[in-house]
Amino acid sequence: MTDLKKDFQSFAEDSSPAGSSFVLNKINSTLTEELPSAWKVATKLGAAHAVGTALTLASCSQFGVTLFNTGHDLMHSFMNISETFCHSLCGAYYLAATFLLARMILNREEWLVLLKNRTLSIASVALVSLGVFSAVSHEVTWESALLWFFGAALGAELMTVRKQALKRLFLSI
């Protein structure tokens, strides 16, 4: 045990730049190799978004775009609350499903990469989705798009918040 302590102390006191920088560079290169790339995370997020889109559009139409025309879906329930909030609730439901699926698909390291770029990830997925909806549907107006984007960003943000932050939020109310 004392040998280990002496070895550690000699390592800590060693001021030679070649030895310590070599070790640090080796550790840094090993960590860099093991961390997932942003492109891999973006690809998995795109896959989660495709599945989430299919599930969401099967149960709630977004700007009149739906996979199955059942006649009654979540949009009718959201419209009963308020037409204004319908767009926000649909957007929140849409991106919350995507980021919930992403949380299930991504491993811990990939999820941390996504959290590091959370604002960019949420904004890009929301804006691309909004662009596709506006290209496919004629029902997208400036006001409805703004409300939908606000709800989508809020829904995705709630899916990426850590449990401790939610506990503090609910305990403060």
Predicted pLDDT at 43: 93
Report whether pLDDT(94) > 60. yes
Per-residue three-class SS string for 130-169: HHHHHHHCCCCCHHHHHHHHHHHHHHHHHHHCCHHHHHHH
User: Structure tokens of 76?
Assistant: 């009718």
Quote the mean pLDDT of the chain.
Answer: 79
Report whether pLDDT(139) > 60. yes
Predicted pLDDT at 84: 76
Q: Where are the domains of the chain?
A: 2-31, 36-172
CA distance 104 to 101: 5
Residue 62 and residue 90 in contact, taking contact as beta carbons nearer than 8 Å: yes
Q: Residues 27-67: pLDDT tens digits?
A: 777 777 777 888 999 999 999 999 998 888 877 777 666 66
Per-residue pLDDT band at 71 (split at 50, 70, 90): low
CA distances from 151 to 23, 96, 102, 154, 167 (A): 48, 10, 18, 5, 21
